[in-house]
Amino acid sequence: GPAEPPRRIKALDQDVVNKIAAGEIIVAPVHALKELIENAVDAGSTSLEILVKDGGLKLLQITDNGHGINREDLPILCERFTTSKLKAFEDLTSIGTYGFRGEALASISHIAHLTVTTKTKESSCAWRAHYASGKLSPAKPGQSADPKPCAGRQGTQITVEDLFYNVPTRRRAFRSASEEYAKILDLVGRYAVHSAGVAFSCKKQGESSASVSVPSNSSTVDRIRIIHGGAVANELIRFEAANERWGFNSEGWISNANYNVKRTVLLLFINHRSVESSSIRKAIEHTYATFLPKGGHPFVYLSLEIDPARVDVNVHPTKREVNFLNEDEIIEVICDEIRASLGKVDTSRTFMTQS
Ligand code: ADP
Ligand code: MG
């Protein structure tokens, strides 16, 4: 009541703070997976194998063949803000790799059981380490927490088990494992289309065949064919646009006027991170509207490279939408090019039928 004295202010336990922070970065299994895929690609991998159980809530495992992690770095691997990718704040403006916050593995270790098995080229064996709340932890109570030598190939395997086991409210928020798995497949499909030279596979544990499987040597169009089907893969136009003044270049594959679907499929990458942009989506839909029948929508795979100094690099981790300078001008250049490409295909067809 009004007569009560104010409650005293107390600091939250560090453990609670860490769990809250982790829950802001990783809201669903797919968010953990995105960080793990980006780490594997950063490590120069040409093969990523993903294994999932219960929509990623029970198990999320990603095995890569990248450069691995040094044994000496394992004790601090999952501490917050430990990274091999960023040294000074100024680096934020020139960062070329996906990761930069050094927070992903730390966050995962606070809300799941995390195991890392890794081998560098120089090491004679692989090392396995378990983590809890940012620190090395024993596999079983009473054992040593030190990494253990084991057999293994070059690369890294990250195993995330029982995600949100200690965040019951979050755990209960999941309606169905298949819904989470659908989000995982959507994400894997995006990176599989975009990552030339990298093989991807994604499988549910216990099933004999993979849901997605893309060989490393497949072309971008073949990647689109494997993931989105032949109907769209046969109706694609190569897309390229660049502009020095606005500091960007872009490329991709976009469906022509013969193809349309009920909802726009937009695979958008900015500086090689999968992102959402409602302004780009709207502008593309508006551009296609004059070429497609009413209610028809395109397929667009668009990879944009923007001078990193001009991009607001996703500083807040939950922000899946990105912002960049001269957004309107860049979108206009892209849409002008789309319009020109769609127009060209039309005239060549008319020309062919007339001759
Ligand atoms: P960030 O990617 O922002 O640096 P992370 O927490 O995602 O932060 O990863 C911390 C560090 O762990 C990375 O900087 C990298 O050195 C190492 N690392 C993580 N995953 C891998 C991997 N799959 N292969 C090699 N090194 C990795
Ligand atoms: Mg990372």
Q: What is the CATH number of the domain that holds 139?
A: 3.30.565.10
**Whether residue 241 sits in one domain with residue 126:** no
306 CB near ligand 1 (under 6 Å): no
Range of the domain at 44: 14-214
Closest ligand 1 atom to Cα of 102: 8
Let me know if residue 35 belongs to a domain. yes
Distance 234 CA to ligand 2 centre (A): 35
**Whether residue 238 sits in one domain with residue 208:** no
97 CB near ligand 1 (under 6 Å): no
The confidence score (pLDDT) of residue 45 equals 98
**Whether residue 210 sits in one domain with residue 263:** no
The confidence score (pLDDT) of residue 101 equals 63
**Whether residue 175 sits in one domain with residue 278:** no
pTM: 0.90
**Whether residue 287 sits in one domain with residue 170:** no
Number of domains in the chain: 2
* Residues paired with 255 in a beta bridge: 236
Distance CA 60, CA 162 (A): 9
Tokens of 140: 């079983």
The confidence score (pLDDT) of residue 309 equals 77
The confidence score (pLDDT) of residue 172 equals 84
Distance of CA 261 to the CA centre of its chain: 25
Tokens of 324: 């960049």
**Whether residue 26 sits in one domain with residue 156:** yes
The confidence score (pLDDT) of residue 97 equals 46
Pocket test for ligand 1, best of 25, 36, 38, 42 (most atoms within 8 A of CB): 42
The confidence score (pLDDT) of residue 310 equals 80
Q: Which of helix, strand or coil describes residue 253?
A: strand
**Whether residue 69 sits in one domain with residue 166:** yes
% helix / strand / coil in the chain, to the nearest 5? 35, 25, 40
The confidence score (pLDDT) of residue 13 equals 83
The confidence score (pLDDT) of residue 103 equals 81
Percentage above 90 pLDDT, the chain: 69
Q: CA Rg, the chain, in Å?
A: 23
Let me know if residue 2 belongs to a domain. no
Question: For residue 310, what is the domain's CATH number?
Answer: 3.30.230.10
Let me know if residue 8 belongs to a domain. no
Let me know if residue 207 belongs to a domain. yes
What are the residue ranges of helices labelled H in the chain? 14-25, 29-42, 104-111, 168-172, 177-194, 220-228, 230-233, 278-289, 327-354
pLDDT tens, 214-249?
A: 999 999 999 999 999 999 999 999 999 999 999 999
The confidence score (pLDDT) of residue 128 equals 98
84 CB near ligand 1 (under 6 Å): yes
Let me know if residue 220 belongs to a domain. no
Distance CA 326, CA 311 (A): 10
Distance 237 CA to ligand 2 centre (A): 33
Let me know if residue 128 belongs to a domain. yes
The residues of the chain scoring below 70 in pLDDT are 1-2, 81, 85-102, 312-321, 345-355
For residue 183, the surrounding DSSP H or E stretch is helix 177-194
Distance 84 CA to ligand 1 centre (A): 7
174 CB near ligand 1 (under 6 Å): no
DSSP single-letter state for residue 137: -
Let me know if residue 223 belongs to a domain. no
**Whether residue 163 sits in one domain with residue 24:** yes
The confidence score (pLDDT) of residue 317 equals 52
Distance CA 62, CA 202 (A): 9
> What residue's CA is closest to ligand 1, atom 5?
102
Pocket test for ligand 1, best of 36, 39, 97, 191 (most atoms within 8 A of CB): 39
